[in-house]
Structure 1
Amino acid sequence: MADTWTFAVARDDLARTILVDGATPVLADGEALLRVDRVGLTANNVTYAVLGEAMRYWEFFPGWPRGLGAEWGLPPLWGFAEVIASTVAGVEAGQRVYGYLPPAGHLVVRPERVDATGFRDASAHRATLPSPYNAYRSTVGDPAYRADQEDLLVLFRPLFFTSFMLADQVADNDYYGAESLVLSSASSKTAYAAAFELHGRGPRLIGLTSPGNVDFTKTLGCYDDVLSYGDIGSLAVVPTAYLDLSGAPDNRAALRQHLGDRLVRDVAVGLTNQIPNADSAGEVFFAPVQMRKRREDWGRDGLDQRFAEAWQRFAAVVGEWLDVRAGAGPADLRQAWLDVLGGRTPPREGRIVQF
């Protein structure tokens, strides 16, 4: 086997993949080398690829250093990596970090703003990209980290951060004056984590999901009611805020037709079925915007502590809702990618790949 490898997908056909072998990168001054160790595959990663051009996700891990042409993209993953070499003071071999990683064996970073919490990658090609994705958190001193929760953190932490910030923004805006909050794609991890945060705090929570996922979603206990998409017409006609995580135009149209002016807010949160929904929604939720607000309100440490407390509450129960399916190596990574892309992972399943 080569020293390292890279898995890439065709930007115009995400089911077409390639595996490229290569040599372990040689470091320049100011750089560190991470060995990618453990990553998760969820619908969130498919979203990054679907929106790769529009939201610049392809630019985080460009293919040119790895011998790939412009037709290929590296879908970003979340997971853990180990520093195996460093020319930067404070970033030491053996340090374990959590962050945004390529589907590859290694990643070269240019650490700056190094402190006890980790560092930021200041590589030139990432300078104008959204800054939250450039942070690498050291497991030492991370209030949300526990070694026995690594699989949960890999699968849920970025999703839960979105969910935590979404719930916080909804509450911060007094629930938009709604009596009912409707979440689509209610069986998805991002949706039910937000529902977990919101349940019992304000309006009635209604989950919308496909007929086959209704029973699973009901067992979660974080919605006051769960309906299939075909039952939108049975929703109570009261002031309602729609948090759309599905991006399906038909569902939005049915909701608008049924509720009329009682639909007081229509927020696009993301997508799980690969149909961009931002253009037709009333507004788009972007977690880093609310994060910046709360950093100003609470300070960095205050935000970290509130997130850690919310995460530990969620982690205490989510293990009962999840079956972890683990793989190893690039072949299993490819299969996991194709399964998630094709919608072949049941809502109870979480895909982990160890490198």
Structure 2
Amino acid sequence: MTAWTLAVARDDLARTVLAEGPVPDLAGGEALLRVDRVGMTANNVTYAVLGESMRYWEFFPHRDPGLGLVPLWGFAEVAASTVPGVEPGQRVYGYLPPASHLVVRPVRIDGTGFRDGAGHRAALPSPYNAYRLTTGDPVYRADQEDLLVLFRPLFFTSFMLADQLLDNDCHGAAAVLLSSASSKTAYAAAFELRGRGARVIGLTSPGNVAFTGSLGCYDQVVSYDDVATLDAVPAVYLDLSGSPATRAAVRAHFGDRLVRDVAVGLTAQIPNADAAGQVFFAPDQMRKRTADWGREGLDRRFAEAWRRFAAAAAGWVDVETGEGPEALRTAWLDVLAGRAAPRSGRIVRLT
């Protein structure tokens, strides 16, 4: 059996390099995960675009410093293990490389899963180092694996983003504006926010207005060209597109009534953190709520929110499934180039 990795050039994300080699041998304290099922969304493009500044390239380092392994979310199975409590055949959900296998050093093992204690990940944000056993995961359902792959990491960001806003009474705003409103992260946040105070307004391209409006997550949906038609009430702007033109239009129209300008990521591949007034980072709010509610309390609230969302989201996505590294390459290039339709959900089976 051989192993493979699909890397991208860090200075040209459209250039990919597929390499094969032997399946890694294990040392003491290590386990081998066989990557099974992953998703490809605009979130993965964000990881690559911000790979240097946010250290995403460091999770799965490549021996060639000019290449990077774009982190993915999905399911893997334990193929071999030298660690008691981590057994072959166990299925886990977590942060995975675009590769057939991953060697981890399981620590903090319990009934919910484990963390990768590899030295190079020790200083990286801890939520990305957790691997949840399907048998100990309150949100897991076998018939929802595709939804979990596509939405769970995005929904966690959305859940924490909405929670931070609600925790601060939306900073006194009467409206919350989300750019890239047709994106999964945006409409999941809108799903959590709608009906809980401020009006939720989606900003999107003209071609996506109808789809975005059909979701029922927003009180109002307008195209980017129509920002000036909105009521100039106190507003929070959640920037998921990274578009300088949209930010300029929002600032020009709302003026000093724009109470917050928050960078949440990007789907237009333009780093937006420097231009925004603040940057949202989900693990920060997760740490706050873990302190407020405890880990079990956070897990319970997230599971309740996920169940509500999943019931609706199943009708909002058309799952497209491929197999193998070439399908992964195609999915990456399509999402990178913006060729994926809003309803499209790209799943790739790797083994």
Q: Which of 106, 113, 121 in structure 2 is aligned with 1:111?
A: 106
* Whole-Å separation in 2 of the counterparts to 1:184 and 1:123: 37
Deviation at 1:118, TM superposition (A): 0.3
Deviation at 1:70, TM superposition (A): 1.4
Which residue of 2 is the match for residue 198 of structure 1? 193
Secondary structure, counterpart of 2:314 in structure 1: helix
* Whole-Å separation in 2 of the counterparts to 1:264 and 1:53: 30
Secondary structure, counterpart of 2:315 in structure 1: helix
Deviation at 1:8, TM superposition (A): 0.4
Secondary structure, counterpart of 1:222 in structure 2: coil
Q: State percent identity of aligned pairs.
A: 74
* Whole-Å separation in 1 of the counterparts to 2:111 and 2:315: 33
Deviation at 1:238, TM superposition (A): 0.7
Which residue of 2 is the match for residue 7 of structure 1? 6
* Whole-Å separation in 2 of the counterparts to 1:27 and 1:141: 25
* Whole-Å separation in 2 of the counterparts to 1:242 and 1:148: 36
Secondary structure, counterpart of 1:140 in structure 2: helix
Deviation at 1:223, TM superposition (A): 0.4
1:232 has 2:231 as partner: no
Which residue of 1 is the match for residue 314 of structure 2? 319
Secondary structure, counterpart of 1:47 in structure 2: helix
Which residue of 2 is the match for residue 40 of structure 1? 39
For 1:250-285, what per-residue CA distance to the aligned partner results, in whole angstroms no more than 9, with x for missing partners?
111111111111111111111001001000111000
| Deviation beyond 4 Å, 4+ runs, structure 1 | none
For 1:172-221, what per-residue CA distance to the aligned partner results, in whole angstroms no more than 9, with x for missing partners?
00011001111110000000000000111111111000001000000000
Q: Which of 273, 277, 286 in structure 2 is aligned with 1:278?
A: 273
* Whole-Å separation in 2 of the counterparts to 1:319 and 1:235: 31
1:250 has 2:249 as partner: no
Deviation at 1:141, TM superposition (A): 1.7
For 1:5-42, what per-residue CA distance to the aligned partner results, in whole angstroms no more than 9, with x for missing partners?
11000000000001000100000000000000000000
* Whole-Å separation in 2 of the counterparts to 1:116 and 1:85: 19
Written as runs of structure 1 = structure 2, the 5 A alignment for 1:81-230 is: 81-230=76-225
1:146 counterpart letter in structure 2? R
1:73 counterpart letter in structure 2? G
Secondary structure, counterpart of 1:345 in structure 2: coil
* Whole-Å separation in 1 of the counterparts to 2:141 and 2:75: 13
* Whole-Å separation in 2 of the counterparts to 1:141 and 1:56: 29
Query: Pairwise CA RMSD of aligned residues?
Result: 0.6
Written as runs of structure 1 = structure 2, the 5 A alignment for 1:55-66 is: 55-64=54-63
Which residue of 1 is the match for residue 30 of structure 2? 31
* Whole-Å separation in 1 of the counterparts to 2:259 and 2:20: 52
Give unpaired runs (5+ residues) of structure 2. none
2:23 counterpart letter in structure 1? T
Deviation at 1:161, TM superposition (A): 0.1
For 1:302-329, what per-residue CA distance to the aligned partner results, in whole angstroms no more than 9, with x for missing partners?
0001000100100001011100000000
1:251 counterpart letter in structure 2? T
Which residue of 2 is the match for residue 297 of structure 1? 292
* Whole-Å separation in 2 of the counterparts to 1:143 and 1:156: 16
* Whole-Å separation in 1 of the counterparts to 2:281 and 2:2: 38
For 1:129-175, what per-residue CA distance to the aligned partner results, in whole angstroms no more than 9, with x for missing partners?
11110000000020010000000000000000000000000000001
* Whole-Å separation in 2 of the counterparts to 1:54 and 1:244: 18
Deviation at 1:231, TM superposition (A): 0.2
* Whole-Å separation in 1 of the counterparts to 2:236 and 2:69: 35
Which residue of 1 is the match for residue 303 of structure 2? 308
1:123 counterpart letter in structure 2? A
Deviation at 1:63, TM superposition (A): 1.2
Give unpaired runs (5+ residues) of structure 1. none
Deviation at 1:237, TM superposition (A): 0.9
Q: Which of 312, 330, 333 in structure 2 is aligned with 1:338?
A: 333
Secondary structure, counterpart of 2:145 in structure 1: helix
* Aligned 8 A contact 2:48 2:57 in 1: yes
* Whole-Å separation in 2 of the counterparts to 1:127 and 1:248: 34
Deviation at 1:122, TM superposition (A): 0.5
